[in-house]
Structure 1
Amino acid sequence: MSDKLIFNYQISGDDFTRAGEASSDVKNKLKIMGIDNNVIRKVAIAMYEGEINMVIHANGGNITVEIGPDNIRMILADTGPGIADIDKAMEQGYSTAPEEVRALGFGAGMGLPNMKKYSDYMDIDTTIGVGTTVTMDVHF
């Protein structure tokens, strides 16, 4: 018997009309579960930023959310191009988003910095030409 709830979301690439649906669904589930609003806010922001990054840069991917007794883990896995320079990508304002994405109001270079800021733990495992897996935890 598992003491975790697990939810999986398939994220479509280049579909900005649906971008944010997974993080919104998780936010609603956490509210129903009575999780603290500050925890919900952190999870929603961190997951949304990751979800948008998957739409912009990686042609989508899969998000697994594990809700445990004192921790929420988000595992965002894609088969995109990978991140060439993680240190550079972690700089606020640095973005490789194309101009047409910026024109939509996305790609400001705050995704990874915000993911780190709003999670208690973040790990980036990336391989050029293979993809990226970002694991984030929010404790409560």
Structure 2
Amino acid sequence: MHDEYIKLHYDVLSGDYIRGGEASSSLKKALMQLGINNSVIRRACVGCYEAEMNIVIHSLGGEIEAVIYKDKIEITAKDRGPGIENINLAMQEGYSTASEEAREMGFGGGMGLPNMKRSSNNFYIESVLGEYTLIKMIINID
């Protein structure tokens, strides 16, 4: 990389199941062009996709930013409301508050947050009811 970092930004719309996944696909393409290791690409894209779909399914919209450094990838996802009432419960595999519509399309299995954490070397989540949820994932480039 010639620069110190590369920053990618994606707007994610609530309920947009058609475009859901575009941010993670774009991130994958950028990481492949940079010659990043396939296992790192997979982890970054799984985390990004899960965050992206959580915004689509559960929020009023939001954004994802991926910053690619020489030694790590930082993915930040922030949405607008409704927030997570119980983060510990939401982190349990299989727990979901997804709508019937999302479940009928095959989403809402309760694996989003656990998959984000599992894909990350460092994982941070913050949520304020009625305002936002913020997720930060760091994936080391080895």
Q: Same fold (TM over 0.5)?
A: yes
Deviations 1:43-90 (A, max 9, x none): 000110010000000122011110001000001011121110000000
AA of the residue aligned to 1:70: D
* Counterpart Cα distance in 2 of 1:78 and 1:2: 29
What TM-score do you get using the length of structure 1 for normalisation? Answer: 0.97
1:96 paired to 2:112: no
* Counterpart Cα distance in 2 of 1:120 and 1:80: 26
Q: CA RMSD in A?
A: 1.1
1:22 aligns with 23
In the TM superposition, 1:8-47 aligns within 5 A as 8-47=9-48
Contact 2:83 2:130 in 1 (8 A): yes
**Deviating 4+ runs (over 6 angstroms):** none
* Counterpart Cα distance in 2 of 1:55 and 1:18: 9
2:54 aligns with 53
Structure 1: tracts of 5 or more residues without a match: none
* Counterpart Cα distance in 2 of 1:2 and 1:124: 29
Give the CA deviation at 1:2. 5.8
Deviations 1:2-22 (A, max 9, x none): 611111100011010000000
* Counterpart Cα distance in 2 of 1:39 and 1:33: 12
Contact 2:96 2:108 in 1 (8 A): yes
AA of the residue aligned to 2:26: D
SS across alignment from 1:78: strand
SS across alignment from 2:57: helix
Structure 2: tracts of 5 or more residues without a match: none
**Total equivalences in the alignment:** 140
